[in-house]
Structure 1
């Protein structure tokens, strides 16, 4: 199969050092040191603002171009959106969640809750503040059968009301509260039981991303994956944004 190539452009500076090595095993031949003409460091030059680095990603499978955490399944999609895509939480060296990220996390074992507070000034790439509804909406996307998301797991069913929403028995997820309203910045998640690993990133018991509700709310769940809002003009709250997307080819 001919490999498909994905080309991307990011606005930053990059220096690349290449080291070549050669060896010979003919004892009768005189072989010079193959590295003697190579410098150990690249020349220092004045730093310029701006610039472009192009990156090629090779894959034996098609580039799907699904740029929404709740629906994305492939590594190429993740790699392409990585510079723009940011998680809610930051972690230390052992992946324990700390308070340095876009949002903070407080676990309450007695009340079986996790309180997420989004920091003021954390904004989508269209300038809108990330809100409590954006966090809650990401759970709706995952749990709604119409989206066909593969992210719905047994671990997430530990959230109160998650199973009922998934099965169509409820229009809301009862265990996710927004005490300051949808436009507030606080979310309280109620669990059936607490787990020791909840203080670490990747534990699977709560989602660590948000989805731009104001941008996606008018797209039916069954049309979300194929929509331009996901495929062509996605929003993120990371340090970069996607400026141009050619479906199935380039970012």
Structure 2
């Protein structure tokens, strides 16, 4: 599997971090997790077109994680490149209502004409595909937020938190994973309900015993705090003894 951080930022605009979006490639399939504003272009810069994407998974429907679904569906009506293969979209409870709301506003401009669109809602459980499986578990953010665990047929594992606070759900998803993509929204002295801080992230990673922790989803205040604290990684290593990466847009990892 190959993981690419498409956008490592949040809903607050940043000159260096795009809105949340993560790409995982399993064999020849492209799996996209969340599509914040501008994700379509970010993916193109990473070498992936809207015609390449096979599956989109949503952690929740806040605008910074979902707004570019409109852009995806609108772009796919054009014939360069034309899309003919199905698009599968999975998300928490409310996905159908979310999509229906978009269609009520944008109508035929986002209605597929050359391919089939499949929507699937999941609260928790396992979805099995040809070459990988996905496990979903509720996490502590919005009333319908979920995180994901991706496991290839070769046994490689990645956990993706979406937005979350400290909770057992995200620890369960990340247990013994090869890569753990975890939100880290605010510095420790500015903890906000529904989000994590660097030290809480380290605690979760240690409890989950993941092999590599990839911190992402930084509000500008958190990016600045990390930049100004040269000892932060050393402090986190006292809590979590695995590898820690402060993600940047277009960082790529292979397992």
What TM-score do you get using the length of structure 2 for normalisation? 0.25
Structure number with the higher helix fraction is 2
Structure number with the higher strand fraction is 2
* Structure with max Cα Rg: 1
User: Which has the higher relative contact order, 1 or 2, with Cα contacts under 8 A spaced 6 or more apart?
Assistant: 1
What TM-score do you get using the length of structure 1 for normalisation? 0.25
